[in-house]
Structure formats: C-alpha cells, structure tokens
Amino acid sequence: MTEFIILIIKLVLIIAVAVGMVPFLIFFERKFAGFFQSRMGPTYAGPWGSLQSFGDMAKLMSKEDLVPAAADGPVFRIAPYILFVPAFVSMTLIPFGPMDVDIFGYNVDLVVSSFDAGVIMFLALGSLAVYGPVLGGWASNNNWALLGALRSGAQMVSYEISMGLAVVGVIVMANTLNFVDIVDAQAGGFWNWFFIPQLVGFVIFFVASIAELNRDPFNLAEAEQELVAGYMTEYSGMRWGIFMFGEYVNMVVMSAVISTIFLGGWRAPFEFLDVIPGFIWLVSKMLFFIFLYMWIRWTLPRYRYNQLMDIGWKIFLPLAIANLAVTALIISVV
C-alpha cells in the first residue's frame, strides 16, 4: 500500500513538473523570440509581461469548441489526446535521481518505472504520437489540415528512423536499454558522458528530435504561409490548446530524454558537485536543450519539403548506420 501511495505521489510530481513548466516555457519562448528579433515580446500582462501565458490560458478556456459539420466527430475529438498522453507516459521512464534513496524513512527509487526496454518504449510512444496529427488532420476534412497531416506524418516517421539508429551506438556502449542503467554507465564526471564518444549520434538525435517535435526549421506540417495552420486548422478553443500543450510537453520530454541518454541524466559534471541533488542537474540540462530549441526556432528559416526529406533519408540515415558500424568496430577492437 505504501508503495502504491509513493507511486501516486511520484506520478503527480512528474505531471506537475511537466505541466507546470509549460506556461513558463511559452512565456520565455515569446520573450526570447522578441529578443532574437530586436523586439520586446509580451509586456502588458503583469510585471515584464510575465502573466501572458495565464492570460492566454483564460482566453483559450473561454473560446467555443467547434467541430466542423464535415469532420469525423469522434476521431476529431480524440486526436489531441493521442498527441498528449504518450508524452506523459515517456516521462515515467526518466530517472530523476539515484535508486533506493531514503526520504523521510521510506525507501524510494527516484524513477517511476525502471523498464528494461525503456529506449524501445520511448521510441514506440514517439511513433504512437504520430497518430495525433495524422488522425486530427484526416478527421478535419479540410484541404490544409489533410496536407499538414500528411506532411507531419511522413516527416515524423522519416526522422524516427534516424533517431532510432542514432541511439544504437549508445546502447552498444552502455550494454542496456534501461534509462536507469544508461545513466549509471555515465557515472563519474562529464568526460564519461556519451555525447563525447557518440558526437555524431548526439547531433543526429538532436536534429531528428527537432523534426519529431515539428518545430522550426522543420515545421513544414504547420507552415503558416502555405498551409494556414496545418493539421490544427479546424481546431479551436481548448482542443487546440491541448495540441499546443502537447507539443510543449513533448519538448520537455524530448529534452529530458536527450539529457538522459547523452548528457548523463541527473549526474553532476564533476563528482564534488554531487552535493547538489540530481533533480536540479537534470532540470538544468533540460532547460539548456529547451533554450537551444527556442534559439534554433527563432534563428533559422524553414527548409523546403524536399530538402527536409533529403536530410532525413540521404544524410542522416547513412550517417547513423556508419556511426553504429564504427562504434561496434572500435568496441570490438578495444
């Protein structure tokens, strides 16, 4: 029974972190967007515009939820959940600290599920999230939405392959698919983190994750100038808000996964810094990647669709396979 209560507490805490970060991420994204483009960003709501996201939330809440007559009602209503829920489930795989910690006299693992096939589970949930945009766009019965859905579907599955193959190098080095053990394999200072020996895999994984998240420079799915809003064209009110929310939660999850696989997860860069709790290290690494996503989004122009597919299929896929082969060779020699 205690275990069950501890599990519920952990789940609620993780959801609070993932959901609680989103309004601040949206606010800082808009603020940074302003700074990168020599503007001020939001300034009116609250001091320094800091209440902007909450204002947006209230506005979204009070908007009518429209379902077009031509749309496929049930699928249209359920599509945002399909994007939203897998993100949370991937969050259960991420370790926030060491196992078997003593907190208030209870023995707690600082991870929800130490799953032996964690990496596969994460990639499978990523594939599941593709259904959200595709079903939403198809059910809308709208030209823009259908085109956006097709584009995002093809883009997400293409980059999923490079992503999956880029991780194999790390798995060969760590000998495990469990995120907890991957972090343990990177113990003892930043020179043991996998982003140094697996630099190619790290870069491929990071760029592929931008494409998975449908963000600039790969946001072909909702290219405003040509497709209105892509698969979200027919959505309004809070149902649109769930799509948007889901994308930011996905960003949090993706940055957590990259930090865990390549940057040592909750481990400190130097051993004498271990006094600072692992949770803080993980969140600061996540914030670093989130800042990088924002920086890239507001700096680079969008790619054309054929360029996007060329990068995914003709450059990243062979590169990921070559990286895997070289890693395997080096490990068998050493």
Partner 1 sequence: MVNPTVDLLIQFGLMAFIGAAVAFALITMSHMMSPTSKNPNKAISYECGVLPCAEARVPYNVHFYLVAVLFVLFDLEAVFLYPWAVAYRTLGVVGLVEMFIFIGILLVGYFYAWKKGVLDWE
3 lines the binding site for partner 1 (CB under 8 A): yes
101 three-class SS: strand
Candidates 39-47, 216-224, 229-237, 254-262; binding stretch for partner 1 (CB under 8 A)? 229-237
Query: Which CA distances in Å does 75 have to 144, 160, 164?
Result: 17, 24, 29
| DSSP per residue, 34-77 | HHHTTS----SSSGGGTTHHHHHHHHHHTS-----TTS-HHHHH
Q: Closest CB to partner 1 among 117 and 276?
A: 117
95 lines the binding site for partner 1 (CB under 8 A): no
Query: Which CA distances in Å does 140 have to 144, 157, 221, 231, 240?
Result: 9, 21, 15, 8, 13
Candidates 187-195, 196-204, 268-276, 326-334; binding stretch for partner 1 (CB under 8 A)? 326-334
**CA–centroid distance for 160 within its chain:** 13
CB of 117 to partner 1, least distance (A): 8
314 lines the binding site for partner 1 (CB under 8 A): yes
Q: Closest CB to partner 1 among 294 and 317?
A: 317
Return the CA Rg of the chain.
Answer: 20
| Residues in region 166-205 near partner 1 by CB under 8 A | 168, 171-172, 175-177
Q: Could you say which DSSP state residue 106 is in?
A: E
| Residues in region 144-163 near partner 1 by CB under 8 A | 144-147, 150, 153-154, 157-158, 160-161
Candidates 42-50, 257-265, 266-274, 309-317; binding stretch for partner 1 (CB under 8 A)? 309-317
x/- letters, 104..143, toward partner 1 (CB under 8 A): --------xx-x---xx--x---x----------x-xxxx
303 lines the binding site for partner 1 (CB under 8 A): no
Give yes or no for a contact between 73 and 245, defined as CB atoms under 8 angstroms apart.
no
Sequence-ordered alpha helix ranges (H) in 37-72: 52-61
Size of residue set near partner 1 by CB under 8 A = 85
